[in-house]
């Protein structure tokens, strides 16, 4: 699950986004997943 060094930083940013603005955090996750699958 931690195959990429940047994944931890991304997860931290998403987690903070979820705490601050749940809607934005969910959108961030959706964008990240979309980029990861293409």
pLDDT by residue (tens digit) across 17-37? 777 777 766 777 788 777 766
pLDDT at 25: 66
Residues 6 or more apart in contact with residue 22 via CB below 8 angstroms? none
- How many CB atoms neighbour CB 32 within 10 A? 15
pLDDT at 16: 78
CA R_g for the chain:
10
pLDDT at 3: 58
């Amino acid at each position: 699950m931690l195959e990429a060094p940047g994944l931890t930083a991304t997860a931290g940013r998403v987690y903070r986004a979820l705490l601050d603005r749940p809607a934005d955090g969910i959108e961030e996750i959706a964008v990240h997943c979309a980029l990861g699958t293409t």
